[in-house]
Amino acid sequence: MTGTDSVRKQAKQIMDDFMNALDRLGEISMEYGLERKEQTRPDPKEQDFPEFRKSILKNAPKKNNDFIIAEKKKW
């Protein structure tokens, strides 16, 4: 088993143990809904940052001028 497999297996075991503990609660009916005065959000404060485009592109691992380059299906 690889390291990743063993971490995955351990994580699933932890989740199953926690779910078994929550079984004590039996069936619970959920209440949904959130009361709000307004249903749409107000316009956010815009930040004045002329260098934004340059800054975003600087973070890209691979780029060509204004294009971020990524290998298809790599992710």
Partner 1 sequence: MVREKRDHLLDGKISASENIHILQERIRELDRNINSFLHVNEKAVEDAKEVDLKIREGNAGKLAGLAIAVKANINVRGLPASCASKTLANYISTYDADAVRMIRENDGVVIGIANCDEFACGSSGESSAFGATNNPAAPGMIPGGSSSGSAASVAAGMCDIALGSDTGGSIRNPASHCGIVGIKPSYGRVSRFGLIDLSMSLDQIGPLSRDVHGSALLLEAISGKTGNDPATTENEVESYSDFKKPRGLRIGMSSDFERMCTDKRIHDKISAFAQSFSRKTGSELKEIELKYVDLSVQAYYPIVYTEFFSGTRKFDGRKYGRKIEESCGEEVLRRILGGMEISKSEYHGAYYRKALAAKQLISKDFENAFRNTDIIMLPTTPILPHKIGTKITDPRTMYAYDAFTIPANLSGICAGVINIGRIEGIPVGLQVMAPAFNEKLLFDVLRECEVIMHGD
Binding site for partner 1 (CB under 8 A): 4, 7-8, 10-12, 14-15, 17-19, 21-22, 24-25, 28, 30-31, 37, 41-45, 47, 49, 52, 55-56, 58-61, 68, 70, 74-75
CA distance 53 to 48: 12
How near is the Cβ of 11 to partner 1 at its closest, in Å? 3
How near is the Cβ of 64 to partner 1 at its closest, in Å? 14
The encoded tokens of residue 13 equal 């075991």
CA distance 8 to 27: 28
How near is the Cβ of 60 to partner 1 at its closest, in Å? 6
Alpha helices (runs of H) in 1-74, residue ranges in sequence order? 3-22, 52-58
